[in-house]
Amino acid sequence: MTKVIIVGAGIGGLTAAIGLRRAGLEVKLYEQRTDPRMIESGGGMVLQPNAMRGFQQLGVADQVAAAGSVLERFEWCTPKGNRLAGWPVGEVARKVGAPMVGIRRMKLQGALTGAIEDGALELGAEVTGFSEDAGGVTVQLAGGAEERGDLLIGADGINSTVRSLSLGPWTEPRYAGYALWFGITEVDGSAADPTFRELDGPGARFISFPVGGREVYWSAIANAAEGTIAEGGGAEIEGDKEMLLRRHAGWAPPTESLLEATDPSVIYRREIADRDPIKKWGAGRVTLLGDAAHAMTINLGQGACQAIEDGVVLTNCLAAEDDPIAALRSYEVKRIARTAPVVRRSRMIGEMGQWTNPLACRVRNQIQRVVFPTVAFREFKQTMAYEFPPAPEPVSPRVSRPASG
């Protein structure tokens, strides 16, 4: 039986682990954090139908959808609330057979972690190195332990150790020129409006959508010089709420009411970065997955969705090929072609979002009015209808060997 070692229990690593175990492979998943739910604590995200279709193949879509809110509409407006464009995403979702879901990141991580029951996941385990030989790959852990497997998957995020060890040291990620403040609050009523709403102003944007029941996630994006917006949040950062209320004063509902209602101790912030697409993700028994392979900006809401697709495609390729190394190369060919344009498109949209010149912003509004309902909507529908390679028959999970050393 092929044994796969995965580094990183983010959304990508967890998805791959669930898929591979379901396909009957042995999996060992190492995560340096002691609680993977704490990644991006407090944040929310959108899981688009392409990702939810992947989760359907892995049998976890229902749990995930139940933990969030099903979204029906996307809407782009000016800061005053004049509508620029809208998409009936609920209709698209029904056509492709999977919902668009807004969800708390912690709940998603919890649902995925819960689907890996029997010791495959080892927490507080930092992978520091690996070596490969004709018979397999040996992974080194901080503290001196080692683990042997047949394949190694680096799902260890934008600053991937596996990537730097296998493809050569990386340079720092490319700072996108803007930062994001985010929080979650409850709204009145029985359930939040199932709309993803984005207000686009000069060099600043405000996004909101429900993430389960009456909870609404919001994010405020603005141009910022690199290194001026330290990552973090909560009690350490004072004054962010007042600054956001000043920046978005007079913006259309629900901007100010969401900011007002948010406890300042759950406002977080983060600078946005990506990497140029690369043409090689691995060699021999090693490959990459998720942000480690294709870190992208936030603008298409596809970073995690593509990581989920990666996990499903990797599973399907390994199940289809007798030679696991050939399966990794076949996975890479499929996924490099899929993800590189998404990275580029996401970057381009972010660059337009940074425009501050009033004339340029009027041109951008016009582009949104014309391009979003036509070309962009067509592209969106194509992205949602991504065709996965054929899925393997599920096999009952096997218990992993305990980590050696």
Ligand X SMILES: Cc1cc2nc3c(=O)[nH]c(=O)nc-3n(C[C@H](O)[C@H](O)[C@H](O)COP(=O)(O)OP(=O)(O)OC[C@H]3O[C@@H](n4cnc5c(N)ncnc54)[C@H](O)[C@@H]3O)c2cc1C
Q: Which positions touch ligand X (CB under 6 A)?
A: 7-13, 30-33, 36, 39, 43, 45-46, 126-127, 155-157, 161, 180, 270, 290-292, 298, 301-305, 307
User: Least separation, in Å, of the C-beta of 194 and ligand X?
Assistant: 15
Say if residues 177 and 256 touch (Cβ distance below 8 Å). no
Backbone φ and ψ of 402, nearest 5°: -65, 150
Question: Cα–Cα distance between 102 and 385 in angstroms, integer?
Answer: 19
Q: Which two tokens stand for residue 334?
A: 């499929």
The enclosing H or E element of 181 equals: strand 174-186
* Residue number with CB closer to ligand X (269 or 361): 269
User: Least separation, in Å, of the C-beta of 373 and ligand X?
Assistant: 22
* Residue number with CB closer to ligand X (143 or 249): 143
Handedness of CA 69, 75, 76, 82 (dihedral sign): negative
Q: Which two tokens stand for residue 59?
A: 């049998």
Say if residues 273 and 173 touch (Cβ distance below 8 Å). yes
Supply the Cα-derived Rg of the chain in whole angstroms: 21
User: Least separation, in Å, of the C-beta of 11 and ligand X?
Assistant: 4
* Residue number with CB closer to ligand X (10 or 183): 10
Chain centroid offset of residue 220 CA = 18
User: Least separation, in Å, of the C-beta of 340 and ligand X?
Assistant: 15
Backbone φ and ψ of 4, nearest 5°: -110, 130
Q: How deeply is 367 buried, as exposed, middle or buried, from its count of CB atoms within 10 A (0-12, 13-18, 19+)?
A: middle
User: Least separation, in Å, of the C-beta of 97 and ligand X?
Assistant: 19
User: Least separation, in Å, of the C-beta of 321 and ligand X?
Assistant: 23
User: Least separation, in Å, of the C-beta of 154 and ligand X?
Assistant: 8
Backbone φ and ψ of 124, nearest 5°: 65, 30
Nearest alpha-carbon partner for 19 in 68, 55, 73: 55
Say if residues 164 and 170 touch (Cβ distance below 8 Å). yes
User: Least separation, in Å, of the C-beta of 276 and ligand X?
Assistant: 16
* Residue number with CB closer to ligand X (126 or 379): 126
Q: Which residue, chain included where needed, has tokens 């929080």?
A: 183
User: Least separation, in Å, of the C-beta of 298 and ligand X?
Assistant: 5
Q: How deeply is 86 buried, as exposed, middle or buried, from its count of CB atoms within 10 A (0-12, 13-18, 19+)?
A: middle
Q: Which two tokens stand for residue 16?
A: 């791959």
Assign residue 233 a region (left: φ > 0; alpha: ψ between -120 and 50; beta: otherwise).
left
* Residue number with CB closer to ligand X (11 or 361): 11
User: Least separation, in Å, of the C-beta of 15 and ligand X?
Assistant: 8
Say if residues 275 and 158 touch (Cβ distance below 8 Å). yes
Handedness of CA 59, 64, 66, 72 (dihedral sign): negative
Cα separation values, 120 from 155, 325, 401, Å: 15, 22, 8
In this structure, which amino acid lies at residue 202?
Answer: P
User: Least separation, in Å, of the C-beta of 44 and ligand X?
Assistant: 7
